[in-house]
Amino acid sequence: MNNNYLEILMQMHECNSWIFYAIVFMFGSAMATFLNVLLYRMPVIMEHDIVENVKFYLKEKKIAHDPIEFGADKYNTLMGRSYCTTCGAMIPFYYNIPVLGWLLLRGKSGCCKQPIPIRYFLVEFLFSAFTCAAFAMFGFYQALGIVFFSYLAIAISDIDIKTKMIPDEYTYLLLWLGVIFNYNGTYTSLESSVSGVIVAYSFLYVINYLYCCIRNTNGMGGGDFKLLAAIIAWTGLSSTLNVVALSCLFGILTFLFKGLIAKGYKLEKEAEIPFAPALLLAGFTCLVI
């Protein structure tokens, strides 16, 4: 039965049916709604987990005898109900309707009438439009993969910018999705995908090791090694150098922008620049070109 539905969708895609793109827009908006939740909650959850680990360590080492309250709170799950960030009231499900919810509320919360940041609406609308554009430009499975890749790329980039950490669970999900989509050669051969994972991880590991020997400090985090491997699982072994070169270019441009604009024309030699956005943008570029 599921295969029949999939075949119908693929036929509608080939015919450029407006019904198909209406379904795709709703699919994209639903994904974007959860993306908004993920972008807000995941850094909070990660911060809470770090605090809990510190508390456990202090307790185990008997450094702290009394319970320590760090003031951190967390959402217990990404699937829980949403609450107003201003007054804490539970948000009714009908206000969480993708795209329409923000418009119906006219950009203000239904509980305390405080402004709702327009970024929530923009993420939902733009990602939905991007999903439709992907299916209009590429084949069914290619477009589906590009949508999933972009979804995880946005999530990982945002988390890396906010926390300078890359959650392993998202990296591994990106990696396995790349292998799955290339099982039948959607973007590259399965052999190129798997061998690329090994080579890409080893490549960055060696570069960072040499950098560490020269500067006595890490040039990048271990999460970047895994992320490059996950990206190459999509693009294939032959694109490894292209992804690395493009990511370095995007990273340098980001550094210059931060130094010249955000820091008042002062470049900081020791400034830390999250590298995940540059890696993922390079991977996306190689994937679609």
104 and 222 within one domain: no
253 and 132 within one domain: no
- Per the structure, the count of domains in the chain is 2
149 and 107 within one domain: no
Q: Residue 91 carries which side chain, given as an amino acid letter?
A: I
274 and 186 within one domain: yes
Domain boundary (137, 155, 172) is at 137
214 and 79 within one domain: no
150 and 289 within one domain: yes
Domain boundary (93, 119, 137) is at 137
Structural domain that includes position 236: 141-289
**What pLDDT score was predicted for residue 190?**
97
pLDDT digits (tens, 9 = 90+) for 146-178: 999 999 999 999 999 988 889 899 999 999 999
**What pLDDT score was predicted for residue 170?**
94
pLDDT digits (tens, 9 = 90+) for 178-230: 999 999 999 999 999 999 999 999 988 888 888 888 887 776 777 889 999 99
Task: Please state the separation of Cα 198 from the chain's center in Å.
Answer: 22
pTM: 0.85
236 and 130 within one domain: no
Domain boundary (79, 113, 137) is at 137
251 and 186 within one domain: yes
152 and 12 within one domain: no
197 and 128 within one domain: no
What gap in Å lies between CA 141 and CA 178, rounded to an integer? 12
Contacts 24+ apart (CB under 8 A), 215-223: 220/275, 221/164, 221/165, 221/166, 221/275, 223/160, 223/165, 223/166, 223/168, 223/171, 223/276
What gap in Å lies between CA 48 and CA 44, rounded to an integer? 6
Residues 6+ apart with CB under 8 A from 225: 201, 204, 205, 208
**What pLDDT score was predicted for residue 157?**
95
258 and 176 within one domain: yes
